[in-house]
Structures are given as structure tokens and as C-alpha cells.
Amino acid sequence: MFLWWFVDPFTAIALTVAYIIGFVVLIVFAGLLAPKVARRFAGKFSLQASMMIIGLLVIVAGLAGVGLTAYILAGVLGEQLSAGVIVGILTFVLVLNIISYLISPLTINILYGAKPSAQLQEIVNSVARRLGMSRPPKAVVVHGPPNAFAYGNILFGKYIAVTDSLLEIVNRDELEAIIGHELGHHKHRDNAIMLFMGLIPSVLYFIGITLIRMGFISGYARAAYGERRREGVGGVALILAGALAVILSFIVQVLILAFSRLREYYADTAGAMAAGVRSMQRALARLHVFYNSYEYAKDAIARSKIKALFIYALTEVYANPFYRRTPPYREIREVDIDRVVEELKKREVSDVSEFFSTHPAIPKRIRFLETLYYKPHTTIA
């Protein structure tokens, strides 16, 4: 395709614009549909059953997509060449993700200036024992707006990171609830699960884009050499197969976003088990108050590569390691947080406000926690 910029720049520009528009459209629809999918499943099944069903749908859709595109590709290029293309794409995506997975803890520790904390480690150890974890993760304090996240791997070990500003606005019970939430992510192996899930739409998307490019190159080459029209059918088949793979990657991405939301509810149950339902609700409400009371805090927060790890995340609200301004934390601590919890229970949240977020809105999470121990099948509204 690179050569087209010299041979046929107008076609190259048109295709590039089409790629960009198509990608943006898919992202927008994925962000809008994911909350609806999560709510629909959670309204009919238990939390565990919903996660299992969506997870299986993601895997089945991924296998079906790869199998179907491989079958179409084999009919055009032959089995041996098509197998080489598919294996090459699988290897490329897998290697990139494995490298990212292996170096991410080191990158996070350096970027966020993670520092061990004996006091925080003691709290993490205590909460871990309550959750039945024999080997607690390492506790570190990082700089940034109030937030917390769990990360790690088999090389560098597991970590629980809490920002210095979060320690300023929560009390001991709320901190234990937040740590319980993050320990829940480790206990439920969310980092590994989401890494695996993320591979599926990536593979489908790369396969789709590759086939579309191959189809256009094939058609362009045949036209340039004056070959007969019927010989270009293979190129059309490749383009259609590629488009199918891209669309399927979008569908899988919607399911994964819904799955990610359910994993956050699942982690909230661990926080509630560790410190009580009310403490978990108060902790979430405290974060909500902070980010909705101080506009400059939002201005200081930018997009992050690890946005899916944070306990608090909205469309435009991601922790930034270069955050510097110091808000009046005492005011946050003095808020009547129980009143805030009651207000948030009644607040309706539109799906648009959760656009392309891996986390459910705080009011939804608080309502989920409210019913957690009273109904065997909770409804996430």
C-alpha cells in the first residue's frame, strides 16, 4: 500500500480516510453499546454467569472469525500460503502483547515513581488475609490524583499501587475497601484474563486489514496489467473477508468492554468482603466527590496506557503520573459521605456518559453493592 502513494496517491488517500472513518465509527459504536450489553446480561443472569457467558461468546466469536477468514483466504491463495499469513499475524500480535505484558510492571514503576511503603504493606497484608490470599502483593505508593490499581506479572511479581493523594482523602476503612478491590483483581487474575481477551479483537482486526490490503493490491495489479475481469474475483473475496473480520473484531470489542465492566463489579465484591459494603460505597463516593468537585483535577488527568487498571475511570478521567497541583484534601474528608452515597444511589446515568470506558459509573457500582448481600441475582441498572 505504501507504493500507492507514488503510483496512485488519490486512491491511497481515499483508502486511508476510509480506514480512519471506519475505525472511528467502530470505536464510537463499541463505546455506546458496551454498557447496554453489560446491563442486559447482568439483568438476566448472576454476575458470575454473565461473565462466563460473555467470556465464552468472545472466545467462540474469535475462533469463528479466524476460522472463517482462513477458509476464505485458502480458497484464494491456497492452504499453505493462507496458513502462513494467519500464523504470521497471530505471531505478530502475540509477541507484541507478551513483550508489553512482561515489561509493563517495570515501566509503571519507573513512570509513576513507585515507592515501597511499610505502613501500606501492613494494611495490604491484613486485607489479603481476610480474602484468603496467602501471598500478598507488594504495596507501593505512587504520585498522582486519587486512584489505585493492581498490576504485575510472573517476572516482577504482583503490585498494589495507591496514589499519595488517595491516602489523604480516605479513612482506614475506605482504604481497606479500595485495597480489597485491587486484591480482588489479583485474586480473580484479571490482568491475565483481560490480556488474553484483548488478543482476540486485535488478531481479527489485523487479519481484516491485511486481507483488505491484499485484496486491493491484487485488484490493482490485475488492472494495471490488463488481466481479465473474472480474475479479479479473488481480490474481491479477500476484501469482503477482511471487512467481515474487522466488523467481527468490533463486535468482540463490545463484548470485551462489557466483560471488563462486569470484572469491576466482581472486584467491588472483594472490596465489600474485605471492609464491608458501606466502606466500599463510601470509598467510591469519595472518589466521585473529588473528581466532580475540582475541575483542575480533571484538567491534570490525561489518557494513560494503563487506564483499564484504575479503580476510578471515566471517559476523560485517567490518572496522570505528571499531576502536580495540590487540592484541599481536608474538604474532601469533611464531606458528609453517607449523604453523598444516598444521593448517588438515586442518580441515573446515561450510557453516553460511559462512552468507551472500561469501568461502570460510580452510581451503578454503589447500587450494585447495595443489593450484593440481599439477592442471589443482582441487577445492574
Q: Output the domain CATH number for residue 163.
A: 3.30.2010.10
Note whether 217 and 237 are same-domain residues.
yes
70 is a domain residue = yes
Last residue of one domain, picked from the residues 203, 236, 261: 261
On whether residue 380 sits in a domain, the answer given is no
Q: Are residues 157 and 210 in the same domain?
A: no
From the list 182, 227, 348, 370, the catalytic residue is 182
Please indicate, yes or no, whether residues 281 and 308 belong to a single structural domain of this protein. yes
pLDDT for the residue numbered 323: 41
Indicate if 147 and 198 belong to the same structural domain: no
Phi-psi region of 126 (alpha: psi -120 to 50; beta: other; left: phi over 0): alpha
Low-confidence ranges of the chain (pLDDT < 70): 1-45, 218-234, 294-329, 350-358, 373-381
Q: In the chain, what's the furthest Cα-to-Cα distance? A: 78
User: Order of strands across the sheet with 148-153?
Assistant: 115-116, 138-142, 157-163, 148-153
* Residue 268 counted as domain residue: no
Is the domain of 90 the same as that of 134? no
CA distances 99 to 85, 237, 303, Å, are: 21, 34, 21
Residues 160 and 12 in one domain: no
Same domain, 89 and 160: no
Range of the domain at 64: 4-102+191-261
Neighbours of 53 (CB within 10 A): 16
Same domain, 292 and 358: yes
8 and 64 inside one domain? yes
172 and 206 belong to one structural domain: no
276: left (phi over 0), alpha (psi -120 to 50) or beta: left
pLDDT at 321: 42
- Whether residues 98 and 203 share a domain: the answer is yes
Output the pLDDT for position 48: 81
Count the Cβ atoms, other than its own, within 10 Å of residue 196: 14
Q: How open is the CA angle 265-372-146, to the nearest 5 degrees?
A: 45
Number of domains into which the chain is organized: 2
User: What backbone torsions phi and psi does residue 260 show, to the nearest 5 degrees?
Assistant: -60, -40
In-domain check, residue 34: yes
255 in any annotated domain: yes
Provide the pLDDT for residue 300.
Answer: 44
Do 46 and 31 fall within a single domain? yes
In a domain, 172, yes or no: yes
- From 261, 296, 320, give the residue that closes a domain: 261
Q: Distance between the two ends of the chain, CA-based, in angstroms?
A: 47
Beta bridge partners of 115: 141
pTM to 2 decimal places: 0.78
The torsion defined by the Cα of 237, 238, 241 and 244, in degrees rounded to 10, comes to -110
Residue 224 in domain = yes
pLDDT of residue 119: 96
Let me know if 182 is a catalytic residue: yes
